[in-house]
Structure 1
Amino acid sequence: MLASGAKRCRVNSRSNTAFLNAFWAFQKPVRTYKVLAIETSCDDTCVAILDRKNPNEAPQVLVHLKETLESGQDGGIIPTRAHLHHQQKIGPLVQAALAQTASNADIDLVCVTRGPGMPGSLSGGLDFAKGLAVAWNIPLVGVHHMLGHLLVPRMQHNALEPRFPFVSLLVSGGHTLVVLSKALNEHEILCDTIDIAIGDSLDKCAREIGIRGNMIAKTMESFINENLDDAHSGAIPMTLPKPLGNQNGRMNVQKFSFAPFLTAVRQNLTKGIQLYTDRERRSMAYQIQECLFDHLITKLKLVINMRPEIFQDVKQLVCSGGVGANKRLQQRLQTELANSFKKFHYPKPSLCTDNAVMIGWAGIELYETLGLKTELDVGPIKKWPITEILQVPGWSCQ
C-alpha cells in the first residue's frame, strides 16, 4: 500500500510516458527546465545542475561539484564531523553551481537525497533543499540514494536502456545488493550482505596492510596496478576465507558476508606491516581484492542458478556504486558472466561514487514518470529499503 497521497499519482510507467511524450510534443517551443540536485548521505557534499531540454534527449549536466570530508587520519567517518562538513560546504557549493551556470532564478525542480544514510549528513542537504524549494516556490523530490546508483546508467540513454526489467549489482562502502528492478517503483532484493558491505571490507583490509588515504579501496586498486608482476608474484601467500560455504566448500547460502576477510587478513600478518616490502604488500593487496571479488561473483552466480525464471528474460546487468568503478571487477564480471548477460552497464567513474548527478536523474524519473514530488515536512530516513520506495510518508502528486 502506498503512502498517503502517493496512491493518487500516475504509477503506470508505460501509459504515463506516452502521455508525457504527447504533452512535450504539443509544446511549441519545447520548454527547458533545470534541476538542482544535492547529495549528502555520507561524507561527500555534492551539487549538480541538470538541463532537461525535452523528453527525447538525455539531460545535459551543466555543472557537478563535490567536496569530500578528509577522514583518512580519523580511521573512518565520524558522523559529527560529517554533519559539520555538510553544513559548511553546501551553501558555497550551491552558490558556486548557480554562478557557473547563470541559473540563479532559473531552477524549476530541486532533487535531494532523503535516505538511506547518516541522519546528520542527510539533514544537511535535505534542510537546505527544502529551504530552496520554499524560496523559489518550486517542487522538491526526495530521492532514495541507492535508486540513484541503480538508475544513473539510464541517463545516458534517456531511460531507454537498460529497459525494465534489469538486474543491478550495487556495491559501495555502505551497501552490497543484487536488485531486480521490474519498474521504477518495483524492486526485489535477490541478495544482500549479512554484515558489512564489500567497500567497507576492502577499506578495512587495505588499512591493515598499510594503505592510507580517503578512498582506501581505490588507492589499493591503484597500488596493485602500479606493478602487476609484483601483484601476481605470490610473494606472501595468504589464507583467505570463502564465507557462507558448506562443508564441501560450495557457496550454498544466498547472502554475502564480507566481515570474515578482515579477521583473516590480520591472522595472515606475522610481523609489523612496516617490515613488509612494497612487493610483498602489493601481492597481499592483489590476493585480498581477488578473494573479495571471488565471493561477490560466486554469490551472484548462485542467485542466477537459484532463480532461473528471472534470468531467462533478464539479460542486462548494471554494476554501480563506488566499488563498481574498479576496472578489475568490471573485467571479471564481463568474463565470468558472459553466458548470463548480453549487456553490462557501468556508469563512468565520477558517477559510480556518490554524486549529485544520479540524484538529479532519479528525481527526474520519479517526477516525470510517476508524477511524484515530496512534501516539505519530511525528515531524513536512516534506513529505507529499496523495496519500499513509495511506502514512506511524504509523497504527493504534482
Structure 2
Amino acid sequence: MSLFYRSLQHAYISKPGIVRPRRIRTLLTLAVESSCDDSAVAILETHNVKSSLIASQSPSASSPPTAHLHFNHRISATTANLRGIHPVAAAISHQRSLASLLRSALPSLPDARDDVDPSKTVFIDVEGKLKQKCKPDFIAVTSGPGMISSLTTGIENAKGLAVAWGLPIVGVHHMQAHALTPQLVHALESGRAGKQVEEEHVAAGVRAASRSLQPAFPFLSLLVSGGHTILVDSKNVTQHRVLAKTADNAVGDALDKMARMILPEEIMASEKQLSNYGAMLEEFVFPGSNPLPSGQAGEDRSYDYGYAPSSAARRVSQYGWALPIPLAAKPKSEQFAFSFAGLISAMERNVDPETRLVWNDQRQKNDRVPRTESPSEDERRELGKLAMTVTFDHLARTVIMGLEAMEERGDRVGTLVVAGGVSANQFLKHVLRVNLDRAGFGKVEIETPPLALCTDNAAMIAWAGSLLFEEGFRGTLGMLAKRTWSLDDYDGTEVNLSVFDGATEA
C-alpha cells in the first residue's frame, strides 16, 4: 500500500468504534480541481461503484458501474502573453473564477424528491427562484501534487462547502485521477446506454467481469502532462507503483518549450488566447491529424504520419542535423527512466539564428556551422516532426521496458492507460501502437480518455473521489495542499501523518 493512501486508509476491520463504510449504490459528488491554471468544477452521480469494487470477489455482484455528469466546466487562466504557465497568474485566475464557477454549478444538482430526508437537501437560487436540490454526499478536491497557491484556493473553497453543508471531504491525488479516467469514460458510456446495456449483459450471460471497473486492474499507466511524466503499475484504486519517472522536465513542458522555439512567429501571434503550444505544434507538423471532436476518443488511424520505428540512438533529418533519443546512448541499466532536458538543449542549438547543427557521422556528433538564413517553414516543420518523434520514441521505449519487466515478474498486462494532457496527441498514440506491435505487445490495448477529459478537469477528481469514498477514505478540515505527492509504494511500518496534514481514517 502506498504511503499517500496508508495515511488515509480506513482500518474499520481491526479497530472497534470505526464504522464500516456503507455500500452506497448511488453517490452524488461535487468536485473541485485547481492544481495548475485551470479552475474546474464537476457534479457527478455514480451508481453501483461499491459493487464494482468487490466484483472480482463476488460473482453475484449487481449491475456494472454507471456515471452521469450533471455539470463539468472549467475556466483557464489567460497566460498566452506570458508564453507559458505562471503561478501568480494562475492563482489570480482561480481567485477570480472558482467561486463563480461553483455558483454556476449548484443549480445543476439533482432536484430533491418528495421522499428525500430534508436534511439531505439544500435550497439553491435557480434563475431567481429557490429550488430544493439534493446535497452532494461529499466534496472531492485535488489536494496535490501541483502549485501550492492554486491548490490552496481550490481546497479552501471545498472546505467552505463542506462546513456549510456538513459534508465529508476527500482529498484526491491529481495523477491518480488521470490514471482512473478511462474507467470514468466506461462508466459514463454505461450510464448513457442505461438499462439496454444491462439487459444485453444478462442476455449474453456476462457476469462479474463486465460488472467490474473497466479497464480492469492491473493495468500500466503512462501519465504524461505539463508537470508529470511517470510510468505506473496500477494494481487497484489505491495501489500504484511508479516504475519510471522523469529526471528533469516533464514531457508536456518539453513539448511546449520546443514548440515555442519551432513555431513561426505568425502562428504564435495568431493564437493569442492559447497556451497549449504542444497542440499547436501537432497541428503545424501534421495538419488535420487531430480532427476528433471533444467528446470522442481514439486514434485517427487514417492519417499518414510517415513514421517508422527505429532502434537507433538518434534521428537524422534531411537537413543534416540530428536529434538524440533521450537516454538511448546510456547503458541499458540507466535507460529505464525519462529525461527531456538534453533534447530541449539540442533544439535550442538547432534554432539558433546564427548557427545550425550538422550531423558528423565520423565523429558521431553534431558540428556547429554558420547559418546563411533563418530556418525556413519547411525546416521548422521538420524540426517539429523530429522533436515529437524522438520524444515519443523515448516514451514508447520506456513503456516497452516496463511491460517486459512486468512480464518477467509474471504480471500479464492487458491495457496501457495513457492519460494527462499530452495523451490528446494523436501522433503519440500512433507511435505507441506501432512500437507495441513491433515489440510483441500487439494484444495490449491502449486506452485514452476523450479529448475533453485528457486535460485537467474536475470530472476525473469526482470519479477518483467516489472510488475513494466508497473504500472508506476521508480527509479533515485540516487538509493542506501538497506540492509533491508520490505514488510510490511505501515499505516502512509507520505512517508519517505530518506529511499529509488533515488525513484521518473514516
| TM above 0.5 | yes
Kept in 1: contact 2:8–2:473 (CA 8 A): no
**Among candidates 340, 344, 365, match of residue 262 of structure 1:** 344
For 2:42, the aligned partner's letter is A
C-alpha separation between the residues in 2 aligned to 1:64 and 1:396?
Answer: 29
For the pair 1:127 / 2:228, whether they are aligned, the reply is no
Equivalent in the alignment of 1:386: 487
Kept in 2: contact 1:373–1:395 (CA 8 A): yes
For 1:175, the aligned partner's letter is H
Deviation at 1:59, TM superposition (A): 1.3
Kept in 1: contact 2:245–2:337 (CA 8 A): yes
Structure-2 change in CA distance of 1:311 and 1:95 (3 Å): farther
**Which residues in structure 2 correspond to 1:143-154 (within 5 Å)?**
143-154=172-183
Deviation at 1:315, TM superposition (A): 2.1
Deviation at 1:236, TM superposition (A): 4.0
The alignment's TM-score, normalised by the length of structure 2, stands at 0.69
Equivalent in the alignment of 2:310: none
Equivalent in the alignment of 1:95: 103
Equivalent in the alignment of 1:27: none
For 2:323, the aligned partner's letter is L
How many residue pairs get aligned? The number is 383
Greater mean deviation of Cα atoms: 375-384 or 273-282: 273-282
Equivalent in the alignment of 1:139: 168
Kept in 1: contact 2:140–2:170 (CA 8 A): yes
Kept in 1: contact 2:247–2:339 (CA 8 A): yes
Structure-2 change in CA distance of 1:7 and 1:50 (3 Å): closer
Secondary structure, counterpart of 1:387 in structure 2: coil
Secondary structure, counterpart of 1:73 in structure 2: helix
Equivalent in the alignment of 2:363: none
Secondary structure, counterpart of 1:153 in structure 2: helix
**Among candidates 55, 61, 65, match of residue 69 of structure 2:** 61
Structure-2 change in CA distance of 1:230 and 1:141 (3 Å): closer
Deviation at 1:227, TM superposition (A): 7.4
C-alpha separation between the residues in 2 aligned to 1:255 and 1:113?
Answer: 26
Equivalent in the alignment of 2:57: none
Secondary structure, counterpart of 1:256 in structure 2: coil
**Which residues in structure 2 correspond to 1:156-171 (within 5 Å)?**
156-158=185-187, 160-171=213-224
The alignment's TM-score, normalised by the length of structure 1, stands at 0.87
Greater mean deviation of Cα atoms: 219-228 or 198-207: 219-228
Kept in 1: contact 2:479–2:503 (CA 8 A): no
Q: Which runs of 5+ in 1 are unaligned?
A: 12-16, 25-29
Kept in 2: contact 1:48–1:356 (CA 8 A): yes
For 1:154, the aligned partner's letter is Q
For 1:163, the aligned partner's letter is A
C-alpha separation between the residues in 1 aligned to 2:379 and 2:8?
Answer: 59
Deviations 1:195-214 (A, max 9, x none): 11111100001111136341
Q: CA RMSD in A?
A: 3.0
Deviations 1:338-375 (A, max 9, x none): 3325322111111111110110000001011x211111
**Which residues in structure 2 correspond to 1:195-214 (within 5 Å)?**
195-210=248-263, 212=268, 213-214=274-275
Deviations 1:268-298 (A, max 9, x none): 1253799444333222211111111111111
Structure-2 change in CA distance of 1:281 and 1:231 (3 Å): farther
Deviation at 1:46, TM superposition (A): 0.7
Deviation at 1:131, TM superposition (A): 0.4
C-alpha separation between the residues in 1 aligned to 2:239 and 2:27?
Answer: 27
Structure-2 change in CA distance of 1:386 and 1:312 (3 Å): closer
C-alpha separation between the residues in 2 aligned to 1:40 and 1:140?
Answer: 16
C-alpha separation between the residues in 1 aligned to 2:341 and 2:280?
Answer: 20
Secondary structure, counterpart of 1:98 in structure 2: helix
Identity %: 35
